Amino acid sequence: MQRSNPIRLATRRSPLALWQANWVADQLRRHEIATELVLLTSQGDTDQAPIDGTRGVGFFTKRIQQALLDDEADIAVHSLKDLPTEPQPEFHLAAIPPRAAVADCLISRDGSDFWQLPAGARIGTGSRRRCSQLLYHRGDLRVSPIRGNVQSRLQKLHAGDFDAIVLAEAGLTRLEMTEHTGQPFPLTMMLPAPGQGALGIETRADAETVRKVAALLDDPVTRAAVTAERTLLSHLSGGCLAPIAALSTPQGRTLHLKAVVLSADGRTQLAHQASGAIDRAAQLGVEVAERLLHHGAAALIAAAR
């Protein structure tokens, strides 16, 4: 498939966002598709205040999406976990490539693992999901917000601002910063955000030719897995900031979905899991969400806002 003009890929300027966009560009070049990057700055890159429920949705994605509408770019490259789940008819999620690692990692200043951290240790994370799960296991910890890219967060750790921080394993691996990987949390202890470790390649809904080009990178199994997770998140009306975690694991033609909803202080955790056919991923997400709602998830989510 060839085009006379390069495909323009919109991306944020952070090192991880640039890695992701360059990876997409490399994959398209394998299909003889020429590309060029359009470097943009999102609100989330300039506003370093803690993200809350009134100002966080689309924090990292709106500027990139606007580039599609303004014909600055043909394709937007997102971390899928940052992309809102609410329907946006002007856009089309054209491809979800194979997923990377989904775990979260604890990186401590002195090499301690999670259970070795001293009482009252200060942990840095910008995620309510991570915060609640940390406190669920150790209520003595002091969990504080941290913002910035991977490199700046590591600098704050080594400067002594925190005893440990939590980062996504996928980001560390993609940036080849495996010397900082630290201790990956077991998935039985710390579930990821819906869509964590996956990329979302988005186009305008009416851009049929570009949609076909982007679709070359789609992985149907990964799409099914994250569809279950994102449908669950949408059905819970949680948004990307609520203390909700989920992971869908493909096994042949079956998906196994596990999800938790927590209180902000981590003292209460609701969990449910179920399996279903891989071609009914959305229905599986709804099923697990309904069970969580039946047991009181809505109140926990509302209280965390």
- Order of strands, edge to edge, in the sheet holding 35-40? 35-40, 7-12, 75-79, 199-204, 91-95
Q: Name residues whose C-beta falls within 8 Å of residue 204's C-beta, 6 or more positions apart in sequence.
A: 68, 69, 90, 91, 92, 210
pLDDT digits (tens, 9 = 90+) for 66-116: 999 999 999 999 999 999 999 899 999 999 999 999 999 999 999 999 999
pLDDT above 50: residue 52: no
pLDDT above 60: residue 2: no
% of the chain beyond a pLDDT of 90: 82
Mean pLDDT, rounded, for 209-216: 97
pLDDT above 60: residue 44: no
CATH C-level class of 104-184: alpha beta
CATH ID of 7-98+198-218, from 3.40.50.970, 3.40.190.10, 2.40.50.100, 3.40.50.2300: 3.40.190.10
Q: Give the pLDDT band of residue 51 (cuts 50, 70, 90).
A: very low
> Cα 143 to chain center, whole Å?
20
Helix intervals (H) in the chain: 15-29, 43-46, 62-69, 128-137, 150-158, 169-174, 208-214, 220-235, 281-294, 297-304
8 Å CB contact between 164 and 117: yes
Whether the domain at 7-98+198-218 and the domain at 230-304 fall into the same CATH topology: no
Which of helix, strand or coil describes residue 134? helix
Distance set, CA 260 to CA 24, 111, 226, 235, 288 (Å): 32, 29, 15, 14, 10
Q: Give the pLDDT band of residue 236 (cuts 50, 70, 90).
A: very high
Compute the distance between CA of residue 66 and CA of residue 68 in angstroms, rounded to an integer. Answer: 5
CA nearest neighbour of 227 among 285, 291, 289: 285
Question: Structural domain boundaries of the chain?
Answer: 7-98+198-218, 104-184, 230-304
pLDDT above 50: residue 54: no
Mean pLDDT, rounded, for 131-136: 98
As annotated, the active-site residues are: 82
CA nearest neighbour of 12 among 48, 50, 46: 46
Tokens at 85, concatenated = 């789940």
> Poorest-confidence range of 49-53, 127-131, 138-142?
49-53
Q: Name residues whose C-beta falls within 8 Å of residue 35's C-beta, 6 or more positions apart in sequence.
A: 6, 7, 8, 9, 24, 25, 28, 29
CATH 3.30.160.40 assigned to domain 230-304? The reply is yes
